[in-house]
Amino acid sequence: GQQLNQSPQSMFIQEGEDVSMNCTSSSIFNTWLWYKQDPGEGPVLLIALYKAGELTSNGRLTAQFGITRKDSFLNISASIPSDVGIYFCAGPYNNNDMRFGAGTRLTVKP
Amino acid sequence: KAGVTQTPRYLIKTRGQQVTLSCSPISGHRSVSWYQQTPGQGLQFLFEYFSETQRNKGNFPGRFSGRQFSNSRSEMNVSTLELGDSALYLCASSLEDSTGELFFGEGSRLTVL
C-alpha cells in the first residue's frame, strides 16, 4: 500500500528548542493531518490541512501542506516537556482509508 | 462531549482463542474505523463502518471482523488468535467518513500468549 515516509524517526532536544519533522509520499494526498500520541493513549489530532500550500498554526505548532501535495511538515516552536510523545502524519488514500506515517518520537530534556 | 470509549483497556488471551473489543463513538459521529498499532507495522487500517455497514476494509485476514449497531457503537472480533495479533487496537470516530478528522479512543491492548 501507499507509504507515508516520515522523518526523523526520533529526536532528542533541549527544552526551548524548535523542532521540525516532515512527511513525504510518492502519491498526491488531498488532506494532510498531524496527530500526537502520548504513552498509553490514542492519537490526538493537532492540525488538519486541506489545501496545497496552506500554512496553519495551532499555538506553538505550525504545519504546511506542500505545494506538490506530496509532502507536509510540522514545526514546534519553543518546545516544553509536555511536547514529549510520538507525532504522526496521516492522509486519506484513495478516499478509502487513512494512511499513517511511522511516527517521530520526540524527547524533550528539561 | 464524551470522547471515544473503548473497552476493555487491557486483555490477555491465548493462541486459538477469540476476542471481542467494543467502541462507543462520540455522540453524533456515524463513522467508526478500527486500527491495529504495533511497533513493527505502525498504525494500520482494519475497517470502517458507517450506518451499520462495512464501507471500507484494510488488508487483514478474515479472522478480523467487525460490526456496527444502530446506535453507531461498534465491535471488532478476532478469531483464532495468533501471537502476532498482540497489539494496541484503536477505534476512531468521525462525523461522516474515515478520511477526515478522526477522534481516537485510548485503545484496547491485546496480549496473546
Q: What is the pLDDT of residues B45-72, one digit of tens each?
A: 999 999 999 988 889 999 999 999 999 9
Mean of the pLDDT values across residues A32-58?
A: 94
Confidence band, pLDDT 50/70/90 cuts, at residue B41: confident
DSSP assignment of chain A equals: ----EEE-SEEEEETT--EEEEEE-SS--S-EEEEEE-TTS--EEEEEE-STT-EEEETTEEEEE-TTSSEEEEEE-S--GGG-EEEEEEEEETTTEEEE---EEEEEE-
Count Cβ atoms below 10 Å from residue B17 Cβ, excluding itself: 13
Q: Are A41 and B33 an interchain contact pair (Cβ–Cβ within 8 Å)?
A: no
Q: Are A42 and B92 an interchain contact pair (Cβ–Cβ within 8 Å)?
A: yes
CA distance A19 to chain B (A): 22
All residues of chain A having their beta carbon less than 8 Å from the beta carbon of residue B56 are 96-97
pLDDT value at residue B78: 98
Report the residue from B45, B59, B107 with minimal CB separation from A42. Answer: B107
Report the residue from B45, B98, B106 with minimal CB separation from A42. Answer: B106
Higher pLDDT, B97 or B93: B93
Joined together, the cell numbers standing for residue B60 give: 487483514
pLDDT value at residue B95: 86
pLDDT value at residue B99: 65
pLDDT value at residue A66: 96
Side chain identity at residue A18, one-letter code = D
pLDDT value at residue A96: 66
Q: Are B56 and A97 an interchain contact pair (Cβ–Cβ within 8 Å)?
A: yes
In the predicted structure, residue B104 carries a pLDDT above the cut 80: yes
Averaged confidence pLDDT in chain B = 93
Mean of the pLDDT values across residues A22-50?
A: 93
At A74-98, the pLDDT tens digits run 999 999 999 999 999 999 887 667 8
pLDDT value at residue B1: 57
Q: Are A98 and B98 an interchain contact pair (Cβ–Cβ within 8 Å)?
A: yes
